[in-house]
Amino acid sequence: MPITKKRNESTEARLLLESDEPVELPPAEIEEKNVVVNFDTLKPFVHELLDALRAGAMAEPVPVMLDGSTFVVHGATRSFWVKLWHASSELTRIERAQIISCLPSTRGVQVLIADDDEYDDSDDEEDEYDVQDEDTGAEFDEDEVEENVDDNNAASPQR
């Protein structure tokens, strides 16, 4: 079971969620007053986390934390780094949630990196290019662009 019993200042015990693997969280009861934020700037996003936890969510360990108890929970538009304490091992009531950070969600975003074979930067200086003026549609080749840049730099007052 991915939980560890912890004692707080009072006599009740809370179960800290801990795991090195993703944990499927069932829909859980949680009250807004039981959410603690590390920074006031995170307060506007508490409702999105509450919605995700109440609906049930996947809690994925945050690998850079290396503590086994910090998880990322994805909301509709944000990803939350949280620590969760449950009332029981059924994980259906959350006694405390601590928001460590939240970032705009990048789910569904793909980063494409060119294959090394497709890009050879050894001949970049020899590549010719054409530039098109957005206003007039006039096209310039590489040499004309460089001449215009040199002319503009010479005409500009020095500071």
Question: Which of 45, 68, 55, 43 lies closest to 94 in space, CA to CA?
Answer: 55
- Could you read off the pLDDT of 36-58 as tens digits, one per residue? 999 999 999 999 999 999 999 99
153 pLDDT more than 50: no
pLDDT of residue 71: 96
CB–CB of 34/46 below 8 Å?
Answer: no
Residue type, 28: A
E strands in the chain: 3-7, 13-17, 23-25, 35-37, 57-61, 71-74, 78-86, 94-104, 130-132, 139-141
Residues 104-133, mean pLDDT to the nearest whole number? 66
Residues 1-22, mean pLDDT to the nearest whole number? 67
Give CA–CA dist 138/130, Å, rounded.
10
- Could you read off the pLDDT of 96-106 as tens digits, one per residue? 999 999 999 88
Name the pTM for this structure.
0.61
